[in-house]
Each structure stands twice: as C-alpha cells, then as structure tokens.
Amino acid sequence: MSTTRRQWGRGGLRRLGAGLCLGLLAGLGTTSAGFAQTAPAGYFETVPDKGGEAQVEADMLTYDSATNMVAAAGGAILVYQGHRVKADQLTYDRTSGKMTAVGNVHITAPDGNVYTMDQVEVTGGIKQAFVRSMTLVTKDGEMIVAQDVDYESELRTILTEASYSPCGECIDAKGRRIGWKIYAAKITRDDKGNVIYLEQPTVEVLGVPVAWFPWLALPDPTKRAAGFKMPRYSYSTKLGHSLEVPYFIPIGDDIDLLLSPKAMTRQGFLMGAEYEQRFDYGRINVKAAGVYQLDPSAFAKGIGDGTWRGGLTASGSFVPLENWTAGFSVTTFTDAAFFNDYEISTAKGAINEVYATYLTDDDYVDLRAQKFNALGDVTWADQEKQVRAIPNIKAVNYTDLGEWGQIRTSARVLGIQRGLDSTATYGGVPYVFGYQESKLHATLETSWQKQWVAPIGALVTPYLGIRGDYTSYDGASALASDPGATTLFSATPIAALDVRFPLIASDGLDSHLLEPIAQLVYRGSSTTLPGVVNDNAQSFVFDDTNLFSYDRFSGTDRQETGLRANIGGRYMANFQDDKWLELVGGQSYHLAGVNGLGIADASLTGTSTGLGSTASYIVLGAQGSPGYGLTLGGKVQLDPTSFKVTRARRANLAMANYTVGLDYFYLPANTATGTVADQHEATVRASAPLPMFDYWTVNGSLSWDLAQAQFLQATGGLTYDDGFFVAGAYAGLTGATHTSPNALTYGVKFLLRTPSSSIDPLGAAGIK
C-alpha cells in the first residue's frame, strides 16, 4: 500500500463554540500565580469529560495513511475545559488510540498551575475531545468543522456532522451573521472519483437556512473531476426562459471537454461544447455551438431568421523558441449575429489571425496575417467592407549609445484588402472609412535623440530622424474621391528640439513642479497622405495628451508636415493630507511649409481638428484632489480668436464610500463634419451605502441630452455585499435615441464567494 500524506495549513483544529473558548483563553492569560512543575501521573484522567468544545491550533495538520497517524505540528496548542496543552507536536495513533504531546510540553491547569515536560501521553476526556472535534481553518479564514473524521482508506475520507464556511464563524465585529455556510449529516470525499458527496446538505445564508437537499454530489473543487457544473437560468424576449446545465469531462491530464446544453422555451435546444488541450509549449482551445430555431422571427430579418444557426471559435498560443510566441485565432459563423443573439462570448473577439512575436530588451518583431469580422446585425455584404490585413508586420530596435544617446529604428508593413467600399453619411456629409481596394504600405523610420542638462538647469533634447514610405494602391473603387491607381515613394526628414525648464519647490510638507515646455518640430515633406488613402489614422482629437507630440496622427497613413512650434507647460503639486493637482495647457503654431493637420481626407480626418490654422486651439487639462477622497478632472478646447469653447469634457468625482460622478460632453455644431446641432450631453452617477444598513449599497445613473432636452438612459440598483454573500437587483431604461431604443432591462443576482474564488450555486437570474 502506498503512503499518503495529507497536510492542511495554519489554523489547525477549532471546534465551534468560540465564545466559550475565547473566554477560557482570556482567563488563562491573566493567571500568573502558578509555577512550573512536572504533571502528576494520571493527570489527564482527572480532567472531566463534560462534552464541551476543544480548540487546537498548529502550523500544520498531517495525516499519514501508512502509519495511520494524525499529527498537529509546529507550535501546537490544545485547549479543553480550561486546560491548555502546548507542545511542538500533538500526535494521534488511530491504530492504538494513543495520543501524545511531544517536545517542550507546557500544561496550564484551570487553577493556574503550569506543568512542563518533554513528552506526555494525553488520555481521558481531553483526548476524546481532540479526536471528536476536527475543525480546519485555512490561512484564508475558511473553516471546515466535523464531529468526527474517519480516514476510511487512502482515497476516502468521511466527515460526520460537518459544515463548511468561507468566513470562519461568519460573525462580524458587530456580532451580526454574514456570509454563508453549508451543513451536512455526512460529507464523503472520494479522491479516486474526485467527487464530494453530501448527505442531507443545508445551505444557510446570513444565518438563515435557504435550501435543503436529501443528497448532493459535487466535483471536488481541488480536482479535475467529471460532473455537472452549476446550472444557469436566464430570461430574454428573444430566447424565452433558458436553462443551461454544463457537464465537465476531463479526457486526460491535459485535455478538457465542457458540454453546455441549453434548453429555451422560445427557441428550443442549443448544444455548446468547449475543448481545450494543453502542451508543455502551449495550448489549443475550440468552442462551438449550434441551434435549430423554433421561432426565427425573433431575430433580425435576413440575418438571424434562419432555421439552423451556429458558430465556432478556435485559438492557440505556443512558445516554440526562446523569446518567441506564436498563435492563431479563428471565428466562423452562419451569421454575424449568432454570438450576440445567444450571448456567447468569443475569446479572441472577431479577428481571424495567425501571428508570431519576438521580444527581447532591445528588439520587438510582430508578424501577423489578419481578417476582421463584424459581429451583430451585419449582412454578408457588410462583411466585405471589413479589412483583411495581410501582412501586418511591426518591428522595433533600440540601440543604446551610452552618453551619446539612443537610436531607435522602427518598420511597419501593412497590406490591406477590402471587397466593398465602407461609407456613411452624417448630417448630409459623406464619410469614406475604407475603399474597395488592394493596398500595400511600408514605412521605415530611424531616429536619434539625446537629453542634456544645460548649465541653467534646462532639459534639452534634440531629435533627428528620417522616415521613408512606399505605397502601392490599385484604385479599384468607383467612388469619386478615389485617387486611382497610385504608387508613391517619399522620404521625410525630421528634426525636433524639446526644451523644458523644471522649477521645483518643497517645504517638507508640500512640493511643487512648474515646467515650461517649448518644442520646435520640422517634418520636411509636402505629402501628408503617404498611405494614399487613409485606413489606420482616422482617430484624432487634439487635447492635453498629445499637445507635445511630434506626430499626432494615430496611424501611418497620415503624417504631420511643415515647421511647427508647441508652447505650453505643466504644473504639478502634492500637498499634505493626500491633496494633489496637475495642470497641463498650451497651444501649437504652424510656422512654415504645408500644414498637414489642416488637410482633410475622405474619412474627414483633419477637419476641424483645431490645428488647421496658424494658431491652434488652446487646450487645457486639469485633474486633482482637494482631499477627503474627492477627485476632479476636466479638459477643454478654446478658439483663440473668440475664446469660444469648441470641446469640453469633465469627469470623475468620488469621496470615500460615497461616489458621485459627473460626465459632461460639449461639441458645437459644425456643418463640415455633419454635426448639425450643438451636442450637450451630461451623465450623473452616484453610489452610496445605506445609512444604518451596513453592506447595503444603492447606485444609479442618469444620462440626458441637454441640447435636445431628451432622455438618453437611466440605470439603478440595490446591492448587499459582505464579502462572501452578494445579492442585488438592477434595472435600466434607454431613451428613443439609444442604439436599443426604449428598452427596459431588469434582473436579480445571487453570488456566494470564497476567499480564493467566486461560485454561483444558486444561479444568476436576469430578465430583459
């Protein structure tokens, strides 16, 4: 027979009845009249067995099946009926029934006498109390209590009159019941079958029994065991009442299969499955689902109203060589709305790709071939508007020259294929987000920079670089704005100088930094569209985050040109009592050459950026805290000719357990971009604990269109959360202009937590 050793961490054995135990310990702590001596013969026989509670603490509890020994080792302490035994180790021989305290044994009697010895056999009622009272308290505070523990065999443990709680006694500092417990007449742990059997289990929440079962079998959470996972119930208008009952199958040590059958009152039966295989050098995951719809009319016409629907995702990641990672992901479906309609997550989003990445301290290379899929109520024709990026290659190298600075070299090769033009119209203004095309754009840029500290304390950073572009575009689109088939070669010299003069002051309590900043940037090219058409540089908002940037476009298809000066500064202050403030502001000036930031492309990038004229908009950003847990932040654009606000936003106010948030967004009407009216939108959020009710929180939000005097969205909820048990209810309502107009959602949720994980045995109910 093989030897099995089981160990449990600090906490050891503690019987319920903490009030009595703590009282005894407190009394022992104040007794000092006793003296050290040797315990009289038969001492433990005189200890009365009153059937009381025993408490044992030790660093480690161990069971050895070969010797049939149970040991509490490492500063073991046994307390029973006012008697306190302290030893290096307490051992119990289940074969002979002998219990021994070994090493530095100290026995404190109720009368205060202290007995010391090297070893003593513990007998009588105190031994029986140790054997009967088995309470395991983990380092995270979880408690398992049993009237008796029987190690029936190497692979089978039986606990009678047992209970489990994730929060110990589950009583807070104010004496209130929190969390949850589960009681059972018998708990049997089958290590061979990796199953835990519970006879007559009762679930108790906040001290109140809420569920009872005659018998229950659960997979051992510490083992990979075959069995049913917790069912999930939900309701929606499209699916009806739904019940999903997952079943887990461990095919091998490194192979898992999860079956997820789902019954729906409106749509019938959906079968889902997930397969995962792990290797020493990586993993593969495949997830698939399919359904025969009973009522296809519930879904979008021409998209999700077919009889058979399904989808599959697959992904893998591998480490074939040192510093290299490689992988793939695939998403395929009968229609793009399937995953959303049946609330199935896609691990890698909607990107089909293969990739390989190399990373060291000085080098980075990323090689990819990608196809982007749109999910939702999207037709197959619309899928042709999505991009295939073949290839998509990035590479960066850093060379440190020591006191001579640093050289950075970067390269990008991006191939774009699109089957149909991607266009839209807003406020009568046409946008072209992508052409029907085949395009290749390659970029190579090398730069050098070095920071010096000038004698007056200024930080001076010169920058020199050159960028080269090659673009080949087939001009396949029939749109009037299509530039036609074009091949472009260009070289852009870059020179910049960044000068900062930090002024620092501190009185030991408060510190201040005032940093004036001046930049001069030259990009010597008249070609602001080196990508010929713009596919990857369509996001552009001028604010404090890119005020001091050498190239503000988000991608390589557009670039800044000409000579430009950026002037501004930053102020930072840290005060005592956790108060702080940061201000950033400035303006950019175009001095010479072609102003690429004032040239619009077909996606209207460059239109109304605030950088198209000689003097840009003034941008300001501020954030800080006046203390008391309160934070404030905001940013704004100002037109310097009229000091009219051209864009504004403010967000995030919070104080301790009370949070109040205010988001305000303003954008003036602009016919050039299709913004036909001023946009004033405000959202107010609030969350607060309920007075006189600990663990209860109420929250809500309201969004309103101030310009149109129109309701946008409202949400609200009430939640109880004591760290181990969560219960809540929520509701939401959308306005007429929302993407899902006039939709009411509401639901409830129950969650049971453990210190190391969250489980949801009661299920989560949501109604839409």
pLDDT band at 48 (very low <50, low <70, confident <90, very high): low
Read off the pLDDT of each residue in 16-33 and give the average, rounded to a whole number: 26
Read off the pLDDT of each residue in 569-590 and give the average, rounded to a whole number: 94
From CA 668, how far away is CA 646, in angstroms rounded? 6
| Candidate ranges 27-36, 111-120, 490-499; pick with highest mean pLDDT | 490-499
In eight-state DSSP terms, residue 20 is H
Residue found under tokens 């000092």:
32
Which percentage of the chain shows pLDDT scores above 90?
47
Pairing state of beta strands 114-122 and 36-37? parallel
**Angle value at C-alpha 21, between 34 and 98, nearest 5 degrees:** 75
At 582 the pLDDT is: 95
At 363 the pLDDT is: 95
The predicted-structure confidence for 141-198, as pLDDT tens digits, reads as follows 777 777 666 655 555 677 788 888 888 888 888 888 999 999 999 888 776 666 778 8
At 759 the pLDDT is: 42
More confidently predicted of 692 and 257: 257
More confidently predicted of 69 and 242: 242
701: helix, coil or strand? strand
At 390 the pLDDT is: 95
379: pLDDT strictly greater than 70: yes
Read off the pLDDT of each residue in 689-704 and give the average, rounded to a whole number: 89
pLDDT band at 756 (very low <50, low <70, confident <90, very high): low
More confidently predicted of 744 and 503: 503
From CA 121, how far away is CA 177, in angstroms rounded? 39
What are the two backbone dihedrals, phi and then psi, of residue 27, each rounded to the nearest 5 degrees?
Answer: -65, -40
565: pLDDT strictly greater than 80: yes
From CA 80, how far away is CA 13, in angstroms rounded? 12
* pTM (global) more than 0.85: no
At 256 the pLDDT is: 93
At 39 the pLDDT is: 59
Query: What would the two tokens of residue 490 be?
Result: 């260009």
22: pLDDT strictly greater than 60: no
At 661 the pLDDT is: 79
The predicted-structure confidence for 329-374, as pLDDT tens digits, reads as follows 999 999 999 999 998 887 656 899 999 999 999 999 999 999 999 8
Of the CA atoms within 13 Å of residue 572, those in its CB half-sphere come to 6
CA distances (Å), origin 328, targets 314, 316, 340, 354, 355 = 8, 5, 22, 4, 6
The predicted-structure confidence for 292-333, as pLDDT tens digits, reads as follows 999 999 999 999 999 999 999 999 999 999 999 999 999 999
Tell the burial category of 243 from Cβ atoms under 10 Å away from its Cβ (0-12, 13-18, 19+). Answer: middle
From CA 730, how far away is CA 744, in angstroms rounded? 11
In the predicted model, what is the mean pLDDT of the chain? 83
At 7 the pLDDT is: 41
pLDDT band at 31 (very low <50, low <70, confident <90, very high): very low
From CA 374, how far away is CA 348, in angstroms rounded? 13
Read off the pLDDT of each residue in 76-101 and give the average, rounded to a whole number: 79
Q: Which of 630, 513, 531 is nearest to 572 (CA)?
A: 513
At 155 the pLDDT is: 59
From CA 263, how far away is CA 295, in angstroms rounded? 14
Read off the pLDDT of each residue in 400-424 and give the average, rounded to a whole number: 95
Which of 367-371, 459-463, 640-644 shows the lowest per-residue confidence on average (mean pLDDT)? 640-644
pLDDT band at 6 (very low <50, low <70, confident <90, very high): very low
